[in-house]
Amino acid sequence: MPPLPPVKSLTEAPVDILVVEYWNLGDLSILVPFLRNLRRSFHSARISLLVNPALASFLEGQRLVDEFIPVRVPWARHFNRLKKYNPFSFDWISLARTMLALRKRRFDWAFSGRMDLRDNFILWLSGARRRIGYGIGGGASFLTDEVTPDLSRPHRADIWLHLLEAVHALQNRKLDGFHLTHAELASARSFLAGLGIASEVSLIGVHPGARIATRRWGDERFAEVVRRLLEETDAHVLWFSEPGTLSEAPQLKRCHAVSLNFRSFLGVLSNCRLLVCNDSGPMHLANLLETPVVAIFGPQRSEWFGPRGPHDRVVIRPEFSCRPCSDYCIFDQPYCLRAISTDEVYSAVENVLPQLTHVRDRRGRLAL
C-alpha cells in the first residue's frame, strides 16, 4: 500500500471531502444537519459520502452530497454476530476494492462521527490527508485530528456536529430538514384524497415496525392506542407498514392501512400532524420533515438517539440498568419495552396533541 500523503495546512480549505456513514436509515437521517453545515461552510468543495448501497438514493436531490460511494461493510450488513465477521464472506473483497479505490482519490479531509475503531481504521485506509474523528472508541493513531467529545451534548447528531466545531466550521446547530419536490407533495395529497381524507382532516400516523425485533413494542399495543384515538378524537389514522412486511392494521373506521415506497412514504408522512412509532428510522425521518413524534424506546438511550423536535415525546421506562444493550437482549424478551403500557403511550399522545393546534406544517397550512 502506498504511503499516505502529507497533511495539508490547517488553514487550507479542502477540495475533496469524504464522509463515512455506511450504517442504516436512522443513522443517515441523523447525519443531515452535519452535511448541511458542511455544505454551507465549504460550498465549493466536492463532498463524497461512503454509504450503504440500499440508501444511496435517500439524499438525492437534497444538494448535500456530490457523490455517493456505495460500500458493503460486513459488520454493518448483518445483525447476527457470526455473520458480521464471517471470514468467507465476499463482502470483505468488496470492501477491500472500495478502500483501494478511495485511496487513489487522495481526499483532503475525511470525517467519521461513529466513535468506533473500525471507522477510524477506514479513515486511515482511505488515505485522506486530514482524518477527523473521535479516538474514544479506539484507533486514535489512525486520525490526524482526534476530537475530544462534548459530554454535555451526547446526541448522535450533536456528536457529528462537534466535528465541525473542531475545524471551526459549525454555523447552525439546527440546520436540518428534508426537501420534498412539488411533485412528491402533490402525489401525497392525491393519495390521501383517494383514501377519502380531506385536506383539513387531522391526520395521525402510526408506524409499528422497526428493523430490529427488540425495538418493536408490538402491533397489538399500537392497535389499542389507535382504537382509543379513534374513539376519543375525530382524527384519521394512517397505519404505515413497509412493503413486504406483515403488519395488519386494526379493522376500524378512519384507520387506513398504508404500504408505500420510500419517497411516497415521505410525502404522506409530511402531511401527518403526529407520528406514533418505535425507536426506528421513521422516527428520524419524521424529525427531518418536522412532523412531531411520540417515540417508544426500549433497548437504546433516548438522550443518544431520541427525537429532537420541540413537540416530540419519548415514552421510556428508565429503571432498566441493562440499557443500552446494543439490541442484544440478555433476557428472553425486551422487558424494557414490554413494561410500557398502552396507557403510558396514549397519555403521551393525549398530552402533546393540544400543543400542535397552532403548529404550521412545512407548507404553511394550519394543522388542526
What are the residue boundaries of the structural domains of the chain, listed by start?
A: 16-166, 182-356
Given a contact cutoff of 8 angstroms between Cβ atoms, the answer to whether 60 and 180 are in contact is: no
- The pLDDT tens digits for 210-257 are 999 999 999 999 999 999 999 999 999 999 998 877 678 899 999 999
Q: How confident is the model at residue 1 (pLDDT cuts 50, 70, 90)?
A: low
Say what the pLDDT of residue 30 is: 96
- Rounded to an integer, the average pLDDT of 295-315 is 96
Say what the pLDDT of residue 366 is: 33
Query: Rounded CA gap, 351 and 265, in Å?
Result: 26
> Average pLDDT of the chain?
91
- Rounded to an integer, the average pLDDT of 291-312 is 95
Say what the pLDDT of residue 368 is: 32
**Domains 16-166 and 182-356 equal at CATH topology level:** yes
How is the beta sheet containing 16-20 ordered, strand by strand? Answer: 67-70, 46-51, 16-20, 109-111, 130-134, 145-147
Contacts of 260 (CB under 8 A, 6+ apart): 191, 240, 243, 268
Given a contact cutoff of 8 angstroms between Cβ atoms, the answer to whether 123 and 143 are in contact is: yes
By CB atoms closer than 10 A (0-12, 13-18, 19+), residue 234 is exposed
- Strands (DSSP E) contained in 187-346 are 203-207, 236-240, 255-258, 274-278, 293-296, 313-315
For residue 362, is pLDDT > 70?
no
- Entry pTM: 0.90
Say what the pLDDT of residue 172 is: 85
From the options 3.40.50.1970, 3.40.50.2000, 3.40.50.1820, 3.30.450.270, give the CATH code of 16-166: 3.40.50.2000
- The pLDDT tens digits for 9-53 are 555 789 999 999 999 999 999 999 999 999 999 999 999 999 999
**Which of 287, 300, 292, 243 has its CA nearest to residue 29?**
287
Say what the pLDDT of residue 93 is: 94
Category of 127 on φ-ψ map: left (φ > 0), alpha (ψ -120 to 50) or beta: left
Given a contact cutoff of 8 angstroms between Cβ atoms, the answer to whether 31 and 21 are in contact is: yes
224 sits in which H/E element: helix 219-232
Say what the pLDDT of residue 365 is: 39
**Which CATH architecture does the domain made up of 182-356 adopt?**
3-Layer(aba) Sandwich (3.40)
For residue 4, is pLDDT > 80?
no
**Which of 166, 140, 127, 210 has its CA nearest to residue 34?**
166
And the C-alpha cell for 298? 426500549
Q: Is 266 helix (H, G, I), strand (E, B) or coil?
A: helix
Angle between helices 25-41 and 156-166 (to 10 degrees): 30
For residue 361, is pLDDT > 90?
no
Say what the pLDDT of residue 174 is: 81
Q: How far is CA 326 from CA 214, 215, 300, 339, in A?
A: 10, 11, 7, 19
- The pLDDT tens digits for 94-138 are 999 999 999 999 999 999 999 999 999 999 999 999 999 999 989
